[in-house]
Amino acid sequence: MVRSGQRTLSPRGYSVALIAARLGVILVFALAVQLPAVVLMLIYGIESSSALNWLFNPSFSISALAAGVLLAVLPIPLALFFKGFALRVIGRVEAGVISRWSASYVRVSLKTEVLQWAGKWLSGTLLWPAWLRLAGASVGGRCEISTIIDVVPELIEIGDECFFADGIYLGGPLVHRGTVTLGKTQLGDNTFLGNHAVIAAGQRLPKDILLGVCTVADEEQIRPGTSWFGLPPFELPRREIIEVDRRLTHEPSMIRYVNRWFWEVLRFGLPVVLVMTIAVWFASVAATQSRASGPELAFVVVPLLNFATISFLCLLVLAMKWLLLGRVRPGVHPLWSCWCSRWDFLYVAWGFYASKALSLLEGTLVLTAFLRAMGAKIGKRVVLGNGFAQVVDPDMLHFADGATVSCQFQAHTFEDRVLKIDHVRIGGEATVGSSAVLLYGAHVGARTRVGPHSVVMKHETLLPGHSYAGFPTRPTGHSFYDSRGSLWRGDTQ
């Protein structure tokens, strides 16, 4: 039953309220951009017209570069602080049932959207738990949290030393028939959540548990000290556990703290390259303005400069991959190792600089060539689905000739706070369906078909010429034959 005394808005009134709330968030971000700009203009005595002139005739003096770097770096940290504080100011959301068309749900929507934006910059960092506490969440000590989705901060309570992988659906409100059910979600100490695990609102999970990839939690089944996987979840009788010195996973030395802080704070420096690139773009337009006619400038010079800028950013990511990681090989890397910090920074940079541009190339041979340059082994006539504009662990991916690949890859896991990484192989003319997940060490045989939304387990081999589906995968009873009527047993390498 909807909470009594609650005011329900008309659909039109709700739309106006939601748009106004989102505009308020935009104004907060604008304030974070404007404050550094105003302060620097006052310090340097610069007028607004002079700042615009600098774009067309950029000065590369030390002081000008320093000002440009500050203008690029400061807005994001300020916006993160302002938005986190704003989530506190707009008031708490209480557990219960509210109307989908109420002002309370405007607040819920705003909080989940702001938190998801903040996660793009902070997820996986030491600052992320601190920001979540600022926003109203209860987060224990020594927690490692990556991207979380649909989260209302004050309705989440996380115990000590928890580890969340990417894309966790945590305590999301249940929207049903015009009502929204909100519940307090509690996770015990030392909880590990694999990628895309789902914890419904109101769940209270015990300590020392592990939920595997895409597992949906069930508080009535899960006991302390157990591991679970699947839908419906079943208990894993045993799993591979790697024992590593806690100084590499939980209790790092000062030098390891310094190393990790360096790479995580460097994320805020990513916009610097964009600011410098934009300045060069404007300077190049200004330099050619006197020599090119209007149509030539608009239809030749500007498109070429745009292409050159996008190509530069993609090539920058390619160079960073080989400089920071080189050829990646199967192995294990503790969380607090320098390798893990570089690995994490690379994929943040890839998403920031190149993923949008590369998404325009999905379905083309150009993207395939870029992935090969990044280290992926992709054969001839391979069909790639959506989602390949940014790929984690490209060195681990092996697609044989004629394969059709629309799935997601988990060529690594972070169980026990140790990154374990291994190859994922898809055989010739095999088909792996949309949103299927292949864990590290998975080997799909030639002409094998894996159904959508399936999960292929770690080091699992699927036989050539068969069909599999499920979570985890099971044979469906179908086989595929060649033109001679024989069961396909082609090359699976």
Q: In whole numbers, what is the pLDDT of the chain averaged over residues?
A: 89
Whether residue 435 is predicted with pLDDT greater than 80 in this model: the reply is yes
CA distance 165 to 410: 11
Max Cα-Cα span within the chain? 82
Q: Which domains does the chain have, with CATH numbers?
A: 11-239 (2.160.10), 262-479 (2.160.10.10)
CA distance 438 to 418: 19
Helical residues (DSSP H) of 331-432, grouped into ranges: 338-353, 355-359, 365-374
Burial 98-121 (b: 16+ CB within 10 A, else e): bbbbbbbbbbbbbbbebbeebbeb
Whether residue 59 is predicted with pLDDT greater than 70 in this model: the reply is no
pLDDT tens figures, 441-462: 999 999 999 999 999 999 999 9
> Could you tell me the two tokens for 133?
């506490």
Whether residue 269 is predicted with pLDDT greater than 80 in this model: the reply is yes
pTM, 2 dp = 0.90
pLDDT tens figures, 278-319: 888 888 888 888 787 778 888 888 999 999 999 999 999 999
Q: What pLDDT band is residue 11 in, cutting at 50, 70 and 90?
A: confident
Q: What pLDDT band is residue 48 in, cutting at 50, 70 and 90?
A: low
Q: Are 244 and 226 in contact (CB under 8 A)?
A: no
Whether residue 49 is predicted with pLDDT greater than 80 in this model: the reply is no
Residues whose CB falls within 8 Å of the CB of residue 483, separated by 6 or more in sequence, listed in order? none
State the pLDDT at residue 477.
73
CA distance 227 to 235: 6
State the pLDDT at residue 20.
94
CA distance 169 to 166: 9
pLDDT tens figures, 395-415: 999 999 999 999 989 999 998
pLDDT tens figures, 309-357: 999 999 999 999 999 999 999 999 999 999 999 999 999 999 999 999 9
State the pLDDT at residue 122.
96
Q: Give the residue from 101, 96, 140 showing the smallest Cα distance to 8.
A: 101
Residue with tokens 């997940």: 437
CA distance 408 to 434: 8
Q: How would you classify the pairing of strands 96-99 and 179-182?
A: antiparallel
* Backbone torsions φ then ψ of 177, nearest 5 degrees: 50, 45
Whether residue 231 is predicted with pLDDT greater than 70 in this model: the reply is yes
State the pLDDT at residue 23.
94
Q: Are 379 and 385 in contact (CB under 8 A)?
A: no
